Amino acid sequence: MAEESGSLAARNRRLRLAAIYPLAGALAIAAVVAFIAYRVAFERSLSDTRASAGHRLDLYAASFEREVGKYASYPYVMGLDGTILALLDDPVDSVLRYRADSYLEALNDRIGTLDVFLLDKTGRVIASSNWNKWDSFVGRDLSYRPYYQNAGVGRVTRFYGIGTTNLQPGYFLATAIARGNATLGIGVVKVSLDQLERSWASAESPAILSDEHGVVVLSSVPRWKYGTLVALDDKARREIAEAQQYNNRSLAPIGLSPLRELDERTRIVRLPGASGSDGSFSTSGLFLSESRAMPETPWTLTVFTDLSEMDDLARLWAALAGVGSLLCLGLFTVYRQRRRHLGEILAARAALQRAHDHLESQVAERTAALSTTNERLCREVEERERTERTLRDAQSGLIQASKLASLGQLSAGIAHELNQPLAALVTLSGNAVKFLERGELDTVRSNLERVRPLVERMGHLTGELKTFARKSSGEPQRVGFRKVVDDVLFLLNHRLIRGPVRVTIDIQGGNIHLWCDPNRFEQVILNLVGNAIDAMEGRDDQRITISGQCEGEFAHIDIRDTGPGLPPERLDHMFEPFFTTKAPGVGLGLGLTISAGIIRDFGGELVASNAKEGGAVFSMSIPTGAGEAA
């Protein structure tokens, strides 16, 4: 009995091992196939990505060289001025020093640099463009700076550092000023790279510029600036401290982790999480690092390309390959088992046939199910497309209905505006008939001449109403902001007079141009100004201020009133549908929702806030469309 139990246990153990070994082998094969598929897919995508990254690196390098190169000749210009040469010969002459300071101040203002200054042979500043300011460099000993120590005749020495006087970072360009073989002094130009850094921050991928110690001096990610690519050793920290280059910054590593080196200048790295200046790119995960040494300087330009999508795609191919290999192995195993059973027992043919038929029926059922699912998905896609078209039509109709509702609100004032000239027309036409019967032609001519401006006034009013009521085409175009404001104030003139409401218009340069649909934009301004009038109703001081100015590729517009302002607890809900701060029955609460949607369609943003001195402020940013207009 004990022997039978031991034999049964041994047989069960062998059966388990017989089942485990093939499964482990299949999993190992699938893992190898998946790894190979991952590497093949990743490497194939990587070659294209490297070509694209190299092109971006060329663009970044060209922008840097272009920005710095336009200032590279100015240190030489200083050595051509007679006053500068005379001051270097006689540094204690106060008259020469004043003339040299004035010349450098004018030169600095003309070329748009941060500072221009002159060092004598000992490294002391004897003239500077900021000679009459609190942070004047005059008299300071800058002999510890590398641009003094490495300056030479006929070449420009470059150096980046933070100013020890005004703590302002800049790029220093210096050259030795000589007469014959004798060096008289050093001419230095300090340039700001902020404009270049801002242009990098708006690009599609992060980029950095690091010095010979690996310290990041320019970065599209503000958090990385003055960080290091690797931990600095004692020698590097001592050299930086002696040059007072970064003014006691901590210079901590940014957390870059190299994973794989492709060549001397190309690596795959992992970056820590950090937000870009405007959140336009990711800085967390797997990246391709492309570097290039910049000419005439020991700096290195590095551009990072996000590999997350490429990595995800390679992982997907690896998963498909692994699953496919398991499926092939499974099918091969089934095939071998079937052949073995067919060869062993002929009697098992019927059972195997039934199993085959059952498998075929399952495949057919699953195929039918997949076909049904595919047809259902197609119907759902068509239904979603129809729904999106319906929503777009509904939004367009809602905007048009809102405009017509606004016209309804304006109807009383419009009727009043039309009644006055119509009454005058009736009186003048009746008088003209009577004077014509009397033969007083001069009086008739005078009456008819008075009729013309009245008709033009009514035509202008109805023309504005037709333009406002016209259904928008939705196509953006170049629009003058001042004309839109004038048209809206003309339509609301009766409400402004009734207030009375004073309107102040403060537009940069008298007018700015926007890239939008003029009809829909006029709807937004009319709604916001109308809301401001409603909010100030019954108050003693009723004022509306409309201001606008251009900042880069966007125009920023504010509409401010002197009403009670917006409830702070409701600011987050101002643009929700059917939300209103007006009394029940007054408005549907859709005006701000529609206005915000229109501004978003233009590529801008509409926000609400309260002014410090009281009243509500609605601010919007709208593209100026400089590129489209060109």
pLDDT of residue 153: 83
Question: Which pLDDT band, with edges at 50, 70 and 90, does 545 fall under?
Answer: very high
In the predicted structure, residue 390 carries a pLDDT above the cut 80:
no
Average pLDDT of span 341-348: 78
The one-letter amino acid code at 130 reads N
Q: Are residues 489 and 428 part of one domain?
A: no
**In-domain check, residue 553:** yes
d(CA 385, CA 397): 18
Identify whether residues 621 and 520 lie together within a single domain.
yes
pLDDT at 627 over 70: no
pLDDT given at position 625? 78
Mean pLDDT (the chain) is 79
Is residue 516, in this structure, part of any structural domain at all? yes
CA–centroid distance for 528 within its chain: 27
Q: Which residue, 154, 171, 192, sits at the end of a domain? A: 192
Question: Which strand (E) or helix (H) includes residue 609?
Answer: strand 605-610
Helix axes 82-89, 94-111, angle to 10 degrees: 140
- Domain containing 173: what range? 74-192
Confidence band of 587 (pLDDT split at 50, 70, 90): low
- Do both 398 and 523 map to the same domain? no
Q: What pLDDT band is residue 432 in, cutting at 50, 70 and 90? A: low
In this structure, are 507 and 622 located in the same domain?
Answer: yes
d(C-alpha 582, C-alpha 596), whole Å: 18
Q: What's the CATH code of the domain at 100? A: 3.30.450.20
Confidence of residue 629 (pLDDT cuts 50, 70, 90): very low
Q: How far apart are CA 168 and CA 504, in angstroms?
A: 39
31, 22, 35: which is closest to 332 by C-alpha?
A: 22
Looking at residue 75, what is its pLDDT? 86
- Of the segments 385-399, 435-449, 547-561, 614-628, which one has the largest average pLDDT value? 547-561
Out of 34-43, 201-210, 239-248, least confident range: 34-43
> Can you read off the two tokens belonging to residue 561?
């009133």
Torsion over CA of 623, 515, 606 and 610, rounded to 10 degrees?
Answer: 80
Q: Quick one: pLDDT at residue 425? A: 62
- Give the closest residue to 202 by CA, choosing from 277, 272, 275: 277
Q: Are residues 552 and 587 in the same domain?
A: yes
The position carrying tokens 């079937």 is 338
Structural domain count of the chain: 3
At 351, which amino acid appears? A
CA atoms within 13 A on the CB side of 148: 18
Q: What pLDDT, on a 0 to 100 scale, did the predictor assign at position 584?
A: 52
Q: Is 563 helix (H, G, I), strand (E, B) or coil?
A: coil
Give the single-character DSSP code of 611. Answer: -
* Residues 466 and 477 grouped into a single domain: no
Q: What is the pLDDT of residues 74-114, one digit of tens each?
A: 888 888 888 888 888 888 888 889 999 899 889 888 888 88
C-alpha–C-alpha distance, residues 104 and 111, integer Å: 11
623 shares a domain with 477: yes
* Residue 542 covered by a domain: yes
Token duo for residue 133 = 């300011």
CATH number at residue 537: 3.30.565.10
Summarize the chain as % helix, strand, coil (round to 5). 55, 20, 25
Q: Which residues make Cβ contacts (< 8 Å) with residue 60, sequence separation at least 6? A: 200, 203, 207, 301, 303
The residues facing 270 across adjacent strands are 257, 286
As a whole number of angstroms, the distance between CA 208 and CA 358 comes to 63
Looking at 176, 192, 208, the residue that finishes a domain is: 192
For residues 603 and 487, membership in a common domain is answered with yes
When mean pLDDT is compared over 258-262, 330-334, 603-607, the highest value belongs to 603-607
| CA pair distance 606, 557, nearest whole angstrom | 9
Task: Please check the confidence at residue 275 and state whether its pLDDT lies above 70.
Answer: no
Concatenated DSSP letters of 247-274: TT----B---EEEEE-SSSEEEEEE---
Residue 93 lies in a domain: yes
How high is the pLDDT of residue 556? 94
Q: Based on the domain organization, do 484 and 599 belong to the same domain?
A: yes
pLDDT at 434 over 70: no
Token pair 């405007």 in the structure block, residue: 278
User: Could you tell me if residue 325 is inside a domain?
Assistant: no
Residue 547 has a pLDDT of: 93
Q: Can you tell me the mean pLDDT for 355-363? A: 84
Per cent of the chain over pLDDT 90 is 10
Q: Which range is most confident: 297-306, 380-389, 435-444, 520-529? A: 520-529
Q: Report the distance separating Cα 410 and Cα 406, nearest Å.
A: 6
Counting residues of the chain whose pLDDT is more than 70, the rounded percentage is 78
For 65-103, give the DSSP string: HHHHHTTTTHHHHHTT-HHHHHHHH-TT-HHHHHHHHHH
The pLDDT assigned to 41 comes to 62
pLDDT range class, residue 297, cuts 50, 70, 90: confident
pLDDT confidence of residue 630: 46
Sequence-separated (6 or more) residues with CB below 8 Å from residue 26: 326, 329, 330
Q: Report, as an integer, the average pLDDT of 110-124.
A: 90
The whole-number pLDDT of residue 48 equals 72
Q: pLDDT value at position 340? A: 82
Is 619 in contact with 574 (CB distance < 8 Å)?
Answer: no
Q: Tell whether 608 is covered by a domain.
A: yes
Tell me, what's the pLDDT at 195?
Answer: 82
More confident residue, 593 or 579: 593
pLDDT of residue 470: 55
Last residue of a domain, one of 192, 209, 235: 192
125 against 310, higher pLDDT? 125
Q: What is the mean pLDDT of residues 155-166?
A: 83
Question: In this structure, are 456 and 494 located in the same domain?
Answer: no
* 122 assigned to some structural domain: yes
Shared domain check, 604 and 457 = no
Q: Is residue 252 part of a domain?
A: no
* Lowest model confidence (mean pLDDT) among 90-94, 470-474, 522-526, 534-538: 470-474
b/e map 148-184, b = 16+ CB within 10 Å: beebeeeebbbbbbbbebeeebbbbbbbbbeeeeeeb
pLDDT given for residue 462 in this prediction: 63
Say if residue 404 is in the same domain as residue 488. Answer: no
**Which phi and psi angles does 225 have, rounded to 5°?**
-65, 135
